[in-house]
């Protein structure tokens, strides 16, 4: 019994989605967790291409993998800068 190549590729991509999602939940570093979530989304977009849904793949790649990751990284940077300035203000008192 042989497994078709597309089926095997689909299983590998689904495993990548699961690993990326688990890493996003389990990692302590917020930036690493956001990048892992973006990686899971990127694996999903490649899986959509393999499953013959290129329109869904393009949407997932641009919004899920690109825009969402950038917004989360921007929010993390802004909140870390805000916390640093609050800590400095508290130390001055």
pLDDT tens digits, one per residue of 16-74: 999 999 999 999 999 999 999 999 999 999 999 999 999 999 999 999 889 999 999 99
Evaluate whether 24 touches 40 at the Cβ level (below 8 Å): yes
Residue 83 has pLDDT above 70, yes or no: no
| pLDDT score, position 4 | 92
Q: How far apart are CA 19 and CA 63, in angstroms?
A: 20
Using the predicted structure, report yes or no on whether residue 84 has a pLDDT greater than 70.
no
**pTM of the predicted model, to two decimals?**
0.79
Question: Nearest to residue 20, comparing CAs of 6, 29, 32?
Answer: 32
């Amino acid at each position: 019994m042989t497994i078709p190549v597309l089926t095997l590729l689909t299983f590998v991509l689904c495993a990548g989605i699961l690993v990326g999602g688990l890493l996003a939940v389990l990692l302590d570093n917020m930036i690493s967790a956001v990048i892992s979530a973006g990686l899971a989304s990127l694996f999903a977009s490649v899986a959509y291409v393999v499953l013959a849904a290129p329109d869904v793949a393009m949407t997932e790649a641009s919004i899920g993998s690109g825009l969402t990751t950038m917004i989360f990284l921007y929010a993390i940077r802004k909140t870390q800068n805000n916390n640093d300035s609050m800590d400095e203000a508290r130390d001055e008192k």
